[in-house]
Amino acid sequence: MTIETKYEYKYYTILDEGGIFELLHEAGMMVEMMETSTAIGREHIWIESLNNVFKDSKDDTVNNFRVDEVIYCDDIKQWCHRNRQHKKCPVFIQYNDKQPVKVEGEGIMFSLYEELDQCDNGYETRYNYEVHGIAPPDIDLVDGLSSLGGRL
């Protein structure tokens, strides 16, 4: 007999300083960043830039992701270990193929959520379910990636 454990899946993308610079360059937000002097203003620009990159991505698996919050983490490996102990499984998302998946060291973590779409039949479903023709699950319990094993 085995004991099944269920994790709460939460999506993140992690960038270091170089990654932030590339993100701002790709989103065309360098001028706005140079004009901002407050930390809250910088975080707002990072969020807006990443949301724009997700929306404009040619990869349909990331088009519906949006940034929920920004967190600085000085030890990502320890943070992951602590979350797994509390039954929360972080899933790391790449916004493009060039972005490395960072699971150690320090970085700026962007907490992500998947935006809901409205279907013709009135049910709210996730984009992945509409594209792949999979019947929608109970939205309150399972979301797109966690139902697929948390893999992109």
Single-letter amino acid, residue 53: V
Quote the pTM value.
Answer: 0.69
Cα 126 from Cα 144, distance rounded (Å): 6
Counting beta carbons within 10 angstroms of the beta carbon of residue 152, is it exposed (0 to 12), middle (13 to 18) or buried (19 or more)?
middle
Query: What's the CA gap between 27 and 48, in Å, rounded?
Result: 9
Does the pLDDT at position 146 exceed 90?
A: no
The ranges assigned to domains in the chain are: 10-115
User: Under a CB-based contact definition with an 8 Å cutoff, are residues 130 and 139 in contact?
Assistant: no
**Residue range 41-96, pLDDT digits in tens:** 999 999 999 999 988 888 888 888 899 899 999 999 999 999 988 888 888 888 88
